[in-house]
């Protein structure tokens, strides 16, 4: 399928969390019917979609039946099993494609790809045993960080290797899974860039955001980040190199470390991203609308902001004073429709806008 999808077409989303919810709302605004496939019924995305399906990822027949009802498919998270992706692809085009998933599902493959694309990373080493971890730590030093090669997010599947860390305990803490050890980056701040790539290779790149994390979870994003023109240009170059190298269709994000003015790539997310939530209120075309435009074969919208924004995640009980937040005239509140406010769970976010500065 190469022709743009007409309004009224069906876009299927694999995954039913908050990212799927915001994608579904953006797609509906453009006139598409959005279908959701998830393992849980009545999740955040399902409750705002035209139709939803609930079945295990391992049920290839269910995935295939779902995909056959859609004109095109996309996904809201990258940990989709390979068998489910193959079942979906047999019935409808999936955008982004297999390469974006395969390269970002495995941190070792991802790091190698980033370097091949001409971008910098921290030093890293493959780890498959305690002995391998000992060898890697001897080479990369302490502190360093041990991460499972697959899965893990918001600080999960990770262990910091400090001066007093018992390596056997650290290896056990990640369930002895294939892993990667990364050297610590002496960064002065964390940045990210969100970009969209159309089917014809056209790209739209949003300004950099500056991010603050706590316990491995994003807390605040400030955009546009106050950076030099040279830093902004280099970030755009990195986005183009990665988007082109993956032959990506849709939105993706690149997490960056600013190390004395040099940008080091931390991770790639082949999807809409938490650090792009500020675009919902600060840009005429949000990252969610941009993604739906791209997978539908539509022209991309403008990524230029009309306002500056500070995005604050609402984690767990942060949502409790929702009545006060909604009464705050400076707050644009986005809630994800989750029923239980568990510790570490993203329940929503607040965007606060201000005039753009030169």
User: Judging by DSSP bridges, how do beta strands 51-54 and 33-38 pair with one another?
Assistant: parallel
Share of the chain above pLDDT 70, in %: 98
CA atoms within 13 A on the CB side of 61: 0
Please, which pLDDT band fits residue 151 given cuts at 50, 70 and 90?
confident
> Which residues on neighbouring strands pair with residue 313, listed in sequence order?
349
Residue 154 has pLDDT above 70, yes or no: no
Residue 229 has a pLDDT of 95
pTM for this model (two decimals) = 0.95
pLDDT score recorded for residue 1: 56
CATH code: domain 189-354 is: 3.30.470.20
Task: Tell me which CATH code domain 123-183 carries.
Answer: 3.30.1490.20
Kindly list the domain boundaries of the chain, sorted by start residue: 10-94, 123-183, 189-354
Question: According to CATH, what is the number of the domain 10-94?
Answer: 3.40.50.20
């Amino acid at each position: 399928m190469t022709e743009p999808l007409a309004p009224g077409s069906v876009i299927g989303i694999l995954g039913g969390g908050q990212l799927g919810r915001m994608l579904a709302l953006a797609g509906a605004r453009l006139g598409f019917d959005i279908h959701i496939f998830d393992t849980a019924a009545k999740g955040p995305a399902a409750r705002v979609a035209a139709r939803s399906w609930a079945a295990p990822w391992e049920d290839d027949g269910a995935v295939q039946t779902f995909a056959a009802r859609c004109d095109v498919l996309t996904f809201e998270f990258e940990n989709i099993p390979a068998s489910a992706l193959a079942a979906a692809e047999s019935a409808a085009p999936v955008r982004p494609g297999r390469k974006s998933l395969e390269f970002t599902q495995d941190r070792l493959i991802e790091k190698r790809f980033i370097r091949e694309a001409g971008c910098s990373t921290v030093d890293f080493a493959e780890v498959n045993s305690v002995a391998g971890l000992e060898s890697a730590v001897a080479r990369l030093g302490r502190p360093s960080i041990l991460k499972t090669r697959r899965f893990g997010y918001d600080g999960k599947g990770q262990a910091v290797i400090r001066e007093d860390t018992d390596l056997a305990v650290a290896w056990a803490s990640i369930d002895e899974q294939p892993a990667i050890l990364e050297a610590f980056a002496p960064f002065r701040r964390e940045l990210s860039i969100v970009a969209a790539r159309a089917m014809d290779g056209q790209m739209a790149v949003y300004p950099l955001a500056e991010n603050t994390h706590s316990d491995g979870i994003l807390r605040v994003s400030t955009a546009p980040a106050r950076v030099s023109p040279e830093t902004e240009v280099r970030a755009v170059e990195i986005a183009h190199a990665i988007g082109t190298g993956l032959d990506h269709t849709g939105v993706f994000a690149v997490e960056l470390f600013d190390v004395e003015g040099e940008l080091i790539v931390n991770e790639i997310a082949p999807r809409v991203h938490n650090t792009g939530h500020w675009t919902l209120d600060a840009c005429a075309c949000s990252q969610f609308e941009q993604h739906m435009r791209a997978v539908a074969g539509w022209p991309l919208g403008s990524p230029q902001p009309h306002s500056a924004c500070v995005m604050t995640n609402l984690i767990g009980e942060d949502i409790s004073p929702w009545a006060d937040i909604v009464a705050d005239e400076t707050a644009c509140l986005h809630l994800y429709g989750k029923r239980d406010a568990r510790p570490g769970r993203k329940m929503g976010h607040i965007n606060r806008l201000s005039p753009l500065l030169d």
